[in-house]
Every structure is written in structure tokens, then in C-alpha cells.
Structure 1
Amino acid sequence: MPYPEGHKIKVRGRIIESAAKAFRTNGIRDISVPFIMKGAGLTHGGFYSHFDNKEQLVSETCRYAISDTISLLQKAAEKEAGEPKIDAVIDFYLSPYHRDHTEMGCILPALSSEISRLSEEVRQVFTRDLQRMIDFIADLAEINKSIGSAVLSMMVGTLVLARSVNDPNFSDSLLESGKQQAKGLIKTNQ
């Protein structure tokens, strides 16, 4: 019995979602194809009917994960009626919830240090998607891309540090400082 129309696309999507969750949580290097396929509810033998290699999966996962993060941040912005939308985005991005739920969070803090050691193809995809994220921040805040880059860099760096420390109070204070500084940078450059 043949698979229904769109079956292969749905399976490919499940694999990418499984990879995004795994990469966000554990990085790229320590995650195997069998682990990703198991997370998608599949055997690893079927991987190569969807992807040429793990690097192709990494590229597509980066694209998916950045789009997913932008969508999540857009929803956070739409929920807030009273404050500037960019403030709602910063508040969500630098929240304890986002810090503590790496499996659904932004892929930039999780993968940036590993991407530099991957293929030019993966780095090219990552670069384009990072630029999309900067554009999103700059457009939402009504600032130029240079300031948007600085704000996003500040947010990503703050989240990396807040996830790295073992003192919950210090972690929370890093998040608060990051929020204040990112919002301040925007306000002085609008």
C-alpha cells in the first residue's frame, strides 16, 4: 500500500523537529543520526532517503529553528499591547522560562560556537538565518541593522551566560541586566 501524498514531507519535518530539539539541548557534535531518528520515532536506516548527510540536516535544522524562534518571538510581541513590541521580545528571550527550556529555545546560543567548525555550506545557511534574526530585531525595534546586531548579540550572550552559571540568583540577575541594557541600547538609538 503506497504512502499517502505528503508522507515523505511530513516524515522529513519530524526528523528536522527531532534534530532541532536535540541540537538545542546538546549541540551538534554529541548528537548521532540514530538518536535524532529515534526522537522522530523512526529507525536510522531511513535517514538517507531524506538527507544526503548530517551536515545537510544541520543546515535545514538551522533554517527551521531560526524560523521557529522568530515565530515564537512574534507571538510574544503580539501578546503585549501596552509596551513596545521589542520590549516584549527582549523580556521573553531573556526570561527564566527561555533560559530553562533549551529544547524549545533559540538555537543561536546553543550552536554558535560549533558552527564555526562546520562546512562552508552550513556556515552559509547559518549566516543567512542569523541575518534574518537581526533583521527581525532591527525592524521590530525600528533601529538600524548595526544596532540590531548589537542587541541580538547582547541577548544571545546574556542567555549563554545565564545558562552557564550554577547560582540561580546570579543567573536571574544576568537576565535582568541583559534586559535593561538591551532595552537601553534600543531607546538611545531609535
Structure 2
Amino acid sequence: MRYSKDHKARTRQHILEESASSFKENGVDGTGVSTLMSRVGLTHGGFYAHFPSKNALVLEAVTLSFNQVRERLATKADAEPDATAQLIALIEQYLAVEHRDTPAQGCAVGALASDIARLPADLKAQFSSHVQAWLNDYAERAGDARLGHLIVTSMLGTIQLARIVSNDESIALLNETRATLIELVRNRSAG
């Protein structure tokens, strides 16, 4: 039986979404093509009808995830009345216990930074452009590149550490970093 182009596109999208979640939850090396294809109800051989390689899938799936999460965070933040409130909303969302506890739905960079660092140079370069866009966005929102970069790097490091340490230590890290960054943002806007 032949499938329509629409069916192939939907299947491909389903593979991308499942891959993004699985990569963020289990890591790139911890996600095998066979297991992934089983999750979407297909065989290993069916993978190659959609992607030329696992690296191609990693690039597309992580890019999709990066864009979806960035858009979701920005949509909530952009509902705030001013740049200070928007930055605070972004910080609060990123450094939330819910984000810590659901890496499959969260930030791809926070979940996969060490995996991405081990990818071939051409893939790392493509991911680098996404990270640079994230840094630029926060620099623009903060009105100061150094503050914007400090916010991004602090949030990223904190979410990674919060997923490693005990729950009490994790909550303390999230709360302390969130409070410190919000204080910096408020002081910047008041100064």
C-alpha cells in the first residue's frame, strides 16, 4: 500500500518530536535508532526513508526542540508589560522545578550541552548558531550584552546542576540563582 506525501510528512514530524524528547531524556548516545523507531511504530529500516543518518536526525530534532521551547518561553514573556518583567518571566520559567523535572519537554541546550559538544564539528557549528541567537535575544532584552549573556549562562549551568544534586540542594540552587538574576535585572532597570 502506498502512502500519501502528507502521511510521510506526518510520520517524519512524529519521528522528529519523539527524537527530540528521547535525546533530551536519554542523551544522543542513549537513544538508538531501532528503539526510537519502535517508539513511533516503525522499523529500523523505515528510518532511512526519512533521514540519511542519525546525525541528520539529531540536527533536525534538536533544532525543532530548541525553536519550540524558545518560542514557548518568549510567548509567555512577551505578554508582560515591559522588558524587565519579560526577562523576569523568562528567568522564572527556565529556573522552575517543572523545567528541572521534565527535561524531555525543556531546553535542548540544558539537556544536551555535553552531547552536542561531542558531535562532529559541522553539527556543533550549526548548534552554535542557535546558542548565539539565544544569547543575542537575551542581550537585546536586557539592553546589555554582558547581562544577557550572564543570565543565559547562569540559567543553563544552574538547570544542569539542579538535575544532578539532591532535591533540597537542587531547589536551593534554583531559588538562589533565580533570586540573584531577578535582582540583577531589577537593579539594571532601576539604575
TM-score for both structures, normalised by structure 2: 0.89
Contact kept in structure 2, 1:143 and 1:189, CA below 8 Å:
no
Which whole-Å CA distance do the structure 1 matches of 2:100 and 2:160 have between them? 8
Which whole-Å CA distance do the structure 1 matches of 2:39 and 2:25 have between them? 13
Deviations along 1:64-108, one digit per CA (max 9) or x if unpaired, are 111011012023314545871111111010001111111101011
Corresponding residue of 2:48: 48
What is the SS of the residue equivalent to 2:20? helix
Deviations along 1:38-79, one digit per CA (max 9) or x if unpaired, are 222322211111111111111111211110110120233145
Corresponding residue of 1:180: 179
1:96 equivalent to 2:97? Answer yes
Give me the identity figure in percent: 32
Which shifted more, 74-83 or 46-55? Answer: 74-83
**How far has the Cα of 1:4 moved from its partner?**
2.8
Q: What is the root-mean-square deviation in Å for CA atoms of aligned residues?
A: 2.0
Which whole-Å CA distance do the structure 2 matches of 1:120 and 1:161 have between them? 26
Deviations along 1:93-131, one digit per CA (max 9) or x if unpaired, are 000111111110101121111222111121011101111
**How far has the Cα of 1:189 moved from its partner?**
4.7
Q: Look up the equivalent residue of 1:180 and give its one-letter code.
A: A
What is the SS of the residue equivalent to 1:164? coil
After TM superposition, the structure 1 = structure 2 runs for residues 93-172 of structure 1, keeping only pairs within 5 Å, are: 93-144=94-145, 146-166=146-166, 168-172=167-171
Contact kept in structure 2, 1:70 and 1:136, CA below 8 Å:
no
Tell me the number of residue pairs that the alignment of Structure 1 and Structure 2 aligns. 188
Contact kept in structure 2, 1:37 and 1:47, CA below 8 Å:
yes
Which whole-Å CA distance do the structure 1 matches of 2:185 and 2:6 have between them? 44
Q: Look up the equivalent residue of 2:66 and give its one-letter code.
A: I
Which whole-Å CA distance do the structure 1 matches of 2:93 and 2:15 have between them? 27
Which shifted more, 45-54 or 69-78? Answer: 69-78
Structure 1 unmatched ranges of 5 or more: none
**How far has the Cα of 1:177 moved from its partner?**
1.0
Q: Look up the equivalent residue of 2:178 and give its one-letter code.
A: K
